[in-house]
């Protein structure tokens, strides 16, 4: 009986299964947070699910501020045609309201919106920069 041919040996190589996170990150030029987790900036740069969540939270807060400002604007300007229809003989009232009385609330609303948007961005930067 002839001897069975020996099975050919195959060398299988793969990356090591358990490398410490700090060595993987250091090799790519990134450093983990003190607890070993990625920083939020890294999450955003790598477009992970968590990074997407961070960006969505900023977008949601900015959208909330915009919708609030738009709603206040609608409540401010929306009833004016009804007011002018109720008092048709008061042409000077229309010009006074549209020319003068409306500007102060609009400026205050715009100022509030800009400050709110800047605060949202500042909070987001603090979160991302880990301050």
pLDDT in tens, 28-72: 545 444 455 556 666 676 677 777 777 888 899 999 999 999 999
Q: What is the CA radius of gyration of the chain?
A: 31
pLDDT, position 22 = 55
Give the model's confidence band at 5: pLDDT under 50 very low, under 70 low, under 90 confident, else very high. Answer: confident
Three-class SS state of 101: helix
Q: Which of 53, 64, 61, 63 is nearest to 128 (CA)?
A: 53
What does the DSSP 8-state code read for residue 124? H
Q: What is the three-class DSSP state of 95?
A: helix
Q: Does residue 21 carry a pLDDT above 50? A: yes
Q: Give the span between the Cα atoms of 71 and 78, in whole angstroms.
A: 10
pLDDT digits (tens, 9 = 90+) for 94-128: 888 888 889 999 999 999 999 999 999 998 888 88
Q: How far is CA 112 from the centre of its chain?
A: 19
Q: What pLDDT was estimated at residue 68?
A: 97
- Report the pLDDT value the prediction gives residue 66, as an integer from 0 to 100: 96
Cα dihedral 75, 81, 84, 85 in deg (nearest 10): -130
How far apart are the two ends of the chain, measured CA to CA in Å? 77
Q: What is the pLDDT of residue 55?
A: 83
């Amino acid at each position: 009986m002839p001897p069975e041919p020996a099975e050919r040996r195959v060398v299988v190589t793969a990356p090591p299964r358990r490398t410490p996170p700090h060595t993987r990150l250091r090799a790519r030029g990134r450093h983990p947070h003190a607890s070993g987790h990625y920083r939020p900036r890294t999450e955003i740069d790598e477009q992970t699910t968590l990074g997407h969540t961070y960006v969505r939270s900023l977008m949601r807060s900015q959208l909330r501020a915009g919708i609030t400002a738009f709603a206040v604007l609608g409540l401010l300007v929306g009833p004016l045609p009804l007011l002018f229809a109720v008092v048709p003989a008061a042409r000077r009232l229309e010009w006074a309201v549209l020319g003068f009385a409306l500007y102060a609330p609009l400026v205050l609303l715009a100022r509030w919106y800009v400050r709110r948007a800047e605060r949202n961005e500042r909070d987001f930067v603090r979160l991302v920069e880990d301050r």
